[in-house]
Structure 1
Amino acid sequence: METLQFRFESGSRPLAGTPQLVGVVGSGNLEVLIEPAQLGGACEIEVRTAAVGFGATWEAVMADFHARWQLADARISINDMGATPAVVGLRLDQAVESLTGGTP
């Protein structure tokens, strides 16, 4: 297992609401927990993954996600069992949409 940490400082969309969990890690996929947090406008993402050595890929997917949503005061936890980048992006979008009801 590998744990990766990402922090984005420049969010413009503060997150509010009840924490949401989407996906199922037991299916060989991944789960995403998203929750509001007092982070001074930042968005923090922690990834726990069984696919060791893909840090650069995760960084690119997280940067794309942040550019799309611009979340602020958000904490995201991802438990991954080898999902593809497309599935990761889909689950992240699903998590945000469950809280905001909107689109990027």
Structure 2
Amino acid sequence: MTSPLQQKIKITGPSIITANRTWDGAVIYRTGANSWSDELRDAAIVRTADEARALLTEAVADDLGAIGPYIAPVEVAADGAVKPGNMREHIRLTGATIALPAQA
């Protein structure tokens, strides 16, 4: 398996770095302050491959706080609101697309 840092990075629009938090698996986003947030609105938005590579390098180095960081597309509205740029990220943000059975 190729490391995320060794893969060719292609950015076609606004993107973020996302991962899962190590201790509870929650979806988290890399911020501009080199930390993690569970709020998409706090994510650092990059627009070039070089920016994405730099942010991803920092995220990969933080293997105690997050696991599996990768670049994900986002959409930025005219008012600055950020929302997922594809179905996978929408599901990761909002949860399952079907009703799950109740746990006993």
> The TM-score by the shorter chain falls in which range?
under 0.3
TM-score w.r.t. the length of structure 2 is 0.26
TM-score w.r.t. the length of structure 1 is 0.26
Higher relative contact order (CA 8 A, sep 6+): 1
The structure where strand makes up a greater share of residues is 1
The structure where helix makes up a greater share of residues is 1
Rg larger in 1 or in 2?
2
